[in-house]
Structure 1
Amino acid sequence: MSDPQRDIATTGPEGPDAPLHRRGIKSYVLRAGRMTQAQTRGLEEVWPRLGLTLADGRQDLDALFGRRAPRVVEVGFGMGASLVEQAETHPDTDFIGIEVHAPGVGKLLDEADKRGLTNLRVYREDALAVLEQCLPEASLDTLQLFFPDPWPKKKHHKRRIVQPAFVELIRTRLKLGGKLHMATDWQAYAEWMAEVMAAAPGYVNSATPETAPYVPRPAFRPLTKFEARGERLGHGVWDLIFERSE
């Protein structure tokens, strides 16, 4: 018999003291998918050079990349096209991608290898665990969260990755002045993100009064094929950028 208290839907963002792994709830669902030859190559041949695991422990990012440089982490990079483009366009910046789905990880690794990228590393792990266990405090210039699963049904809102405890964890990993950059094509989720961030301590919104709480799509965020198609169909996209202020 189910516990009725465990079946109550979350109707708003959880409080800042809520555990990040409350009842084992995940913000993603692992989906089975066929692997292409290129994706398999990425996982088998490129992973040993560019892949990271929780077992590697807390990272010294300067030692990991062999230099001191701006650091960007992207949570949930999908098939990796945007992240690869950023890493290729900004060779003076180091990027870490976090994604749980094997086809996307394999695709990104294959592309990174073909383009000779050395400023990119990849985790195939739960992003919360990577942030908690592997990334040092005050080590990141930017954390990107582009088009996360909106979990549109009210009973699933507790699965949304953007929660007060999550953005507080990110704040501790950002440098002072570091940026949390989110984007979504679901207006209701954009409003949820704005609500969470408005209540989050230690952040300031980068938006101007004319566009607040959102910002125009920054030129440095690559336009994905999915997003371009949505724009042609008149779908909206909302970007939010908040800086760590304390």
Structure 2
Amino acid sequence: MEANKSKPASEEEAPVRLPQKRFYRQRAHSNPIADHSFEYPVRPEDYDWTQHYPTMGEGQQVEFADIGCGYGGFLVTLGELFPNKYAIGMEIRVKVSDYVIDRIQALRKLHEGQYQNIACIRTNAMKYLVNYFRKGQLEKMFFLYPDPHFKKAKHKWRIINPALLAEYSYVLREGGHIYTVTDVRDLHEWMCKHIEQHPAFERLSEEQLREDILAEKLLDSSEEGKKVTRNNGDKFVAIFRRV
């Protein structure tokens, strides 16, 4: 009878660990107008979402979109709060998106059967959003701590602007919500002004905002939100309904 042979150390599986952000550092800002190199579908029907979601069945679809998801803290929270909904994070920075992808893969291995409903893709949502989503597909869109682009000449780079709101109203279903949070008062007022001026959206009252399960999570779930908390910064939240 042969004795049990243990695997050589070189063949043993390494323990699964979450990725460390220090190996994925990248500058905080990216020019969304620049000619980055992206692969994207010609139309939503051409995109195979099952490559990102192992459990996605026929007829199921992505319903939550975290635009500029950063290091994925809020995306992970969405996966935990809504296990039966598919959420996608869209991030333009290559190293940051790589981190989120690796983070999700590690979480799936560490927690069997969980986090199968979240994923991240590197893309420019300002240019290719409608290439991924059909009319009325999304239930919720999130814009958490977006780049303020302080200079007036760069305001056209802001992720909330009149031209892009037409696209957001297209992909968002009736009754769906846009969530915004920032630590910059000027940007908060800018986003609120432009969204409220658009005929497809109405702002929720403070009472309605407090009743939303995600209202509190918007503040501190993301890495940027935690940073603002550590620095005792202000946070401005607004939620809008697609009418």
The residue identity in structure 2 corresponding to 1:147 is: Y
Aligned equivalent of 1:109: 101
Please state whether the residue corresponding to 1:98 is helix, strand or coil.
strand
Aligned equivalent of 1:77: 69
Shift of 1:78: 1.1
Aligned equivalent of 2:229: 231
Would the aligned equivalents of 2:44 and 2:130 in 1 still touch at CA under 8 Å?
Answer: no
TM-score w.r.t. length of structure 2? 0.70
Identity %: 22
Please state whether the residue corresponding to 1:137 is helix, strand or coil.
coil
Unaligned runs of 5+ in 2: 1-30, 51-55, 109-114
The count of corresponding residues between Structure 1 and Structure 2 is 198
Aligned equivalent of 1:58: 44
Please state whether the residue corresponding to 1:72 is helix, strand or coil.
strand
Aligned equivalent of 1:190: 188
Would the aligned equivalents of 2:73 and 2:221 in 1 still touch at CA under 8 Å?
Answer: no
Shift of 1:210: 10
Would the aligned equivalents of 2:64 and 2:87 in 1 still touch at CA under 8 Å?
Answer: yes
How big is each residue's C-alpha offset from its partner over 1:159-190, in whole Å with a ceiling of 9 and x where there is no partner? 21211111121011011000111111110000
Alignment of 1:1-246 (within 5 A): 26-27=31-32, 53-55=39-41, 57-59=43-45, 64=50, 65-66=56-57, 68=60, 71-116=63-108, 117-208=115-206, 218-221=215-218, 222-245=220-243
Would the aligned equivalents of 1:217 and 1:238 in 2 still touch at CA under 8 Å?
Answer: no
Please state whether the residue corresponding to 1:138 is helix, strand or coil.
coil
Aligned equivalent of 1:36: none
Change (3 A) 1:27 1:61: closer
Aligned equivalent of 1:46: none
How big is each residue's C-alpha offset from its partner over 1:113-146, in whole Å with a ceiling of 9 and x where there is no partner? 1121221233211103331222100000001111
Would the aligned equivalents of 2:43 and 2:130 in 1 still touch at CA under 8 Å?
Answer: no
| Aligned equivalents of 2:172, 2:239: Cα separation in 1 | 13
Which one has more relative contact order, counting CA pairs under 8 Å at least 6 apart? 1
Shift of 1:152: 1.0
Unaligned runs of 5+ in 1: 1-25, 32-51
Please state whether the residue corresponding to 1:197 is helix, strand or coil.
helix
The residue identity in structure 1 corresponding to 2:41 is: A
Please state whether the residue corresponding to 1:73 is helix, strand or coil.
strand
Please state whether the residue corresponding to 1:54 is helix, strand or coil.
coil
Which deviates more, 60-69 or 147-156?
Answer: 60-69
Please state whether the residue corresponding to 2:206 is helix, strand or coil.
coil
Please state whether the residue corresponding to 2:177 is helix, strand or coil.
strand
Give the structure with higher Rg (CA).
Answer: 2
| Aligned equivalents of 1:205, 1:136: Cα separation in 2 | 24
